[in-house]
Amino acid sequence: MPDNHLMEREIEIAVVRALEEDLGEDGDVTSKATIGPGLTVRAEIIVKSPGVIAGLAVAKRTFAYLDDALEFNAFFDDGAAVEAGTRIAEVSGDALAVLAGERTALNFLQHLSGIATEAAKYTKALEGTGVDLLDTRKTTPGLRYLEKYAARTGGARNHRFGLFDQILIKDNHIGVTRDIEEAVRKARDAYPSLVVEVEAETLDEVRAAVEARADIVLLDNMDTTLLRAAVGLIGDRALKEASGGITLANIADVAATGVDRISVGAITQAAKPLDISLEVVG
């Protein structure tokens, strides 16, 4: 999990990149042509469908980057569940700056709130099971830290952040090495402080991963019958993680097989943006 300083850096990078993409060299030519300088406005940011809010700090930084004199007031904290029609923030100041930042700020808010909302749905489906919900590396290139933050905001835990912070021996690694036990041994020798997880698609692979003393066995694309068998085979010798083909409709059944955690790529990969708008009111 990144520290606050790193999150601030990631927000800054994402905001600058997004504004440069939107404004180009000439800026908001429509607003500059039709409004001109010197006018001030007050605008409300309103959620138009129910969901969980994430990304208010990113929206605030977007407006501040354009004009640090703008006033941005959030009425909720990230993680708040709100109903349709809720005012979640207000921004006021120079009209050109507010309008220049509108779409970028909303894009971040809608996208990150959509992820938080999706994570909250899956988290709710797991209530009372004792099973942890995890995200994956299926994220938008360049936005991983923000998207994983949004997943946490919705109640998920973060899986590894990248290829650098945990060993995960997947099917393609096994396809090259042909030997799970040897792959685990080499991984521990090379990076003794890192957790070692092994992906398994069959009971033979599960058995090999356990015998190799993997810390976590990733049970990939198994139906509930096979999952139960794999869980029984592993026992308490490793953490048991289910992944692949997980939906809101079947996640409770997957949890009931006895796994310890479930990773769901759809949290970040398929989340629908939350409907949020900015409306000038004065």
Residue among 143, 147, 59 nearest 108 (CA): 59
Catalytic residue check, 138: yes
Catalytic residue among 32, 42, 138, 188: 138
Catalytic residue among 170, 182, 211, 279: 170
How much is the pTM?
Answer: 0.95
Catalytic residue check, 60: no
- Most distant pair of Cα atoms in the chain: their distance: 71
Do 81 and 234 touch, CB atoms closer than 8 A?
no
110-135 burial, b at 16+ Cβ within 10 Å, e below that, comes to bbbbbbbbbbbbbbebbeeeebbbbb
Joined tokens for residue 191: 């990076």
CATH entry 3.90.1170.20 includes domain 4-123+271-280: yes
**CA dihedral sign, ordered 265, 119, 250, 258:** positive
Catalytic residue among 220, 240, 260, 261: 220
Joined tokens for residue 35: 């409004």
- In this prediction, residue 3 carries a pLDDT of 60
Catalytic residue among 32, 42, 87, 103: 103
For the chain, where are the alpha helices, taking DSSP H only? Answer: 4-23, 29-34, 56-66, 95-125, 144-153, 171-177, 180-190, 203-211, 224-234, 251-255, 266-269
Taking phi over 0 as left and psi of -120 to 50 as alpha, with beta for the rest, 231 belongs to alpha
Q: What is the mean pLDDT of each run of 10 residues along the chain (282 residues)?
A: 75 97 96 93 98 98 98 98 98 98 98 98 98 98 97 97 97 88 96 98 97 98 98 98 97 98 97 98 90
Residue 91, Cβ density class (10 Å: 0-12 exposed, 13-18 middle, ≥19 buried): buried
| Residues in the chain, overall count | 282
CATH class of the domain comprising 157-263: alpha beta
Joined tokens for residue 215: 């810390």
Q: What letter represents residue 19's amino acid?
A: L
Catalytic residue check, 103: yes
Catalytic residue among 118, 135, 197, 199: 199
Joined tokens for residue 23: 């404004």
- In this prediction, residue 1 carries a pLDDT of 45
Q: Do domains 4-123+271-280 and 157-263 have the same CATH topology?
A: no
Catalytic residue check, 135: no
The domain limits of the chain are 4-123+271-280, 157-263
